[in-house]
Amino acid sequence: MANSSNGRGSRKNGDGRRTNDARGTARKPAARPSGNASGRGAGKMSGKSAARTAGRNAGKPAGAGGRAPGKVRPKKMSKEKRAMYRRRRAVVGIGVVVVLVVAVLCIYSLIRGAFAMHEIASSASAYSISRESSAPSPSATSNVPDCSSSDVQLKLSADKTTVAVGGTVTFTAEIDFTGKETGGCFVDGADDSRVLVIKSGNDTIYRSDACQATYRPLLMFKDQVDSQTMTWNTNSTGDTCVDDSTLPHVSAGTYQAQLTLVDSPDVTSNTVTISVE
């Protein structure tokens, strides 16, 4: 039995499948539109899209519908951040002002100090010059003369005349006024002026003026006697002043002690002999 479709004949082959009739023609694929037709269609679509876009953007200012290519819109800063930055700027500004004020004050103080030192130095120099030029020569404040051998007498005594090596002898030194002047005389009764001298033969072993003593001015007049004690620890002095405890002890032997006035060497006392055993 023959079927017809679209004027084309077909028949079944031996395995039951249909085959095109030899007289029919093979089905052709749908023809593709030509390049001109495709171009015209694409052009129409592009024109419509452009028209729609232009219609949407019509009446909008430039940049209102979107960001311009290549530009980034800056982010808006919150009020809290703006306040924080303002506070930071205020703190930095105050700090700068404080530093400047301190620097100015330091420079001002240095300049004032330099001027003050210059003025002090100038006034001190002027005062020194005025003192040197206007200082009067010292004048005598008393008509009392210094004591001489005719005015005073020295006396020396000891609590013992025999002592062991390293022992101690205590002397009593006296200054007696023997002059006839009613006004008296001056004498220094310190240990470095009324000096205790101890010798061994011609060698001086000990002097009480090896160290400086406090000045003791004495006004000696009729019946005036000055008495002081002096200690000898059986040691020997040198040319310089050292502590008495560091002085070396003398060896066993015989020693002579005597007083003398430094300002009047001819004023001497009696001699006391000490035996060191």
pLDDT tens per residue, range 241-271 = 999 999 999 999 999 999 999 988 899 999 9
More confident of the two residues 208 and 69: 208
Q: Whole-angstrom Cα distance, residue 188 to residue 228? A: 12
Q: For the purposes of burial, counting CB atoms within 10 Å of the CB of 256, is it exposed (0-12), middle (13-18) or buried (19 or more)?
A: middle
Tokens of 11: 């028949």
Our separate counts of H helices and E strands in the chain read 2, 13
φ, ψ (nearest 5 deg) of residue 112: -65, -40
Superfamily of domain 152-276: Immunoglobulins (2.60.40.10)
pLDDT tens per residue, range 143-167 = 788 888 889 999 999 999 999 999 9
Residue 11 CB neighbours (<10 A): 14
**Residue 123 has what pLDDT?**
65
CA distances from 164 to 170, 178, 277 (A): 14, 37, 5
Longest distance between any two alpha carbons in the chain, whole Å: 198
Question: Distance between alpha carbon 74 and the CA centroid of its chain, in Å?
Answer: 53
3-state DSSP helix/strand/coil % of the chain, to nearest 5: 30, 25, 40
Check residue 146 and report its DSSP letter: B
DSSP reduced 3-state for 120 = helix
Q: Following DSSP, what letter does each residue of 200-256 receive, concatenated? A: ETTEEEEEGGGS-----EEEE-TT-EEEEEEEE-SB---SS---GGGSPBPPSEEEE
Where in the chain are the domains? 152-276
Tokens of 197: 């001298």
Contacts of 175 (CB under 8 A, 6+ apart): 152, 153, 154, 187, 189, 194, 218, 220, 225, 226
pTM exceeds 0.75: no
More confident of the two residues 52 and 191: 191
Stretch 71-91: mean pLDDT: 77
More confident of the two residues 73 and 183: 183
Tokens of 59: 């009446």
